[in-house]
């Protein structure tokens, strides 16, 4: 059990600093993703934030609560960046290439695999919360694909299917071979390959 009794009194952030809740989340995200959930303790997060463990528990009663909030924050950040880049005045292919390269540079891990691993750790309610945040990213992509279908920029595809196909292809950008080496030495090369597969499928342009 990692539940703790919430201490009395709200911890205060130093003047001029980001809110403590935000600081805890922004600190815990890279720790969870780089070390794995089991290897990160609330002590580790408190030390990195330079606050007491009681301060962390004040806002997040358990480590699983903190992980859930961290992943929701991460996916909300991804959604906001995706929406911003989709709004740029460029072709859909150019915007997707831009989003893909930015995503691979910012997130050096397989988000889908990480979430699948957490299914055995988190409650069903926590998993639903995370999936809803992930759906926000898919919704943004679906809407843009639908617009491109309507304008004739792309063929009459199912926007829901192509949005999920795209996010699945993103996982390839972090793929490694049997020796643990990355398939692509640079994010821009991985992004080009991913978008080429999405755009052309098995048949290259003539």
The CATH number of the domain where 10 resides is what? 1.10.10.60
What residues form DSSP beta bridges with 182? 176
Distance (Å, whole) CA 125 – CA 26: 22
The predicted pLDDT at position 1 comes to 44
* Residue 37, domain extent: 1-61
CB 134 within 8 A of CB 79: no
Q: How many domains does the chain have?
A: 2
| pLDDT by residue, tens only, the chain of 206 residues | 455 445 445 555 555 567 899 999 999 998 998 888 999 999 999 999 999 999 999 999 999 999 999 999 999 999 999 999 999 999 999 999 999 999 988 877 667 777 788 888 899 999 999 999 999 999 999 999 999 999 999 999 999 999 999 998 988 888 788 888 888 888 999 999 999 999 998 776 66
Same domain, 119 and 189: yes
Q: Which of 128, 117, 129, 124 is nearest to 39 (CA)?
A: 117
Q: Does residue 163 form part of some domain?
A: yes
Q: Which of 199, 192, 144 is nearest to 172 (CA)?
A: 192
Same domain, 92 and 18: no
Q: Where are the alpha helices (DSSP H) in 36-123?
A: 42-49, 53-59, 63-86, 92-106, 111-118
Same domain, 27 and 71: no
Q: Does residue 120 form part of some domain?
A: yes
Same domain, 88 and 159: yes
The predicted pLDDT at position 68 comes to 95
Same domain, 77 and 153: yes
Same domain, 46 and 87: no
The predicted pLDDT at position 205 comes to 66
């Amino acid at each position: 059990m990692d539940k703790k009794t919430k201490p009395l009194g709200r911890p205060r952030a130093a003047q001029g600093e980001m809110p403590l809740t935000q600081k805890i989340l922004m600190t815990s995200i890279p720790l969870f993703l780089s070390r794995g959930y089991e290897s990160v303790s609330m002590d580790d997060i408190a030390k990195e934030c330079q606050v007491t463990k009681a301060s962390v528990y004040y806002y997040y009663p358990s480590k699983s609560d903190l992980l859930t909030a961290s992943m929701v924050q991460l996916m909300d950040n991804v959604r906001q960046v995706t929406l911003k880049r989709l709004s740029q005045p460029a072709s859909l292919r150019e915007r997707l290439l831009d989003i893909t390269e930015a995503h691979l540079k910012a997130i050096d891990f397989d988000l889908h695999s990480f979430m699948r691993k957490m299914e055995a750790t988190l409650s069903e309610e926590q998993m639903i919360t995370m999936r809803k945040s992930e759906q926000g990213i898919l919704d943004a992509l679906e809407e843009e694909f639908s617009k491109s279908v309507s304008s004739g920029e792309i063929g009459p595809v199912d926007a829901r299917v192509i949005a999920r196909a795209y996010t699945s292809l993103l996982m390839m950008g972090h793929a490694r071979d049997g020796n643990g080496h990355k398939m692509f030495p640079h994010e821009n090369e991985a992004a080009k390959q991913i978008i080429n597969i999405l755009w052309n499928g098995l048949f290259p342009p003539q």
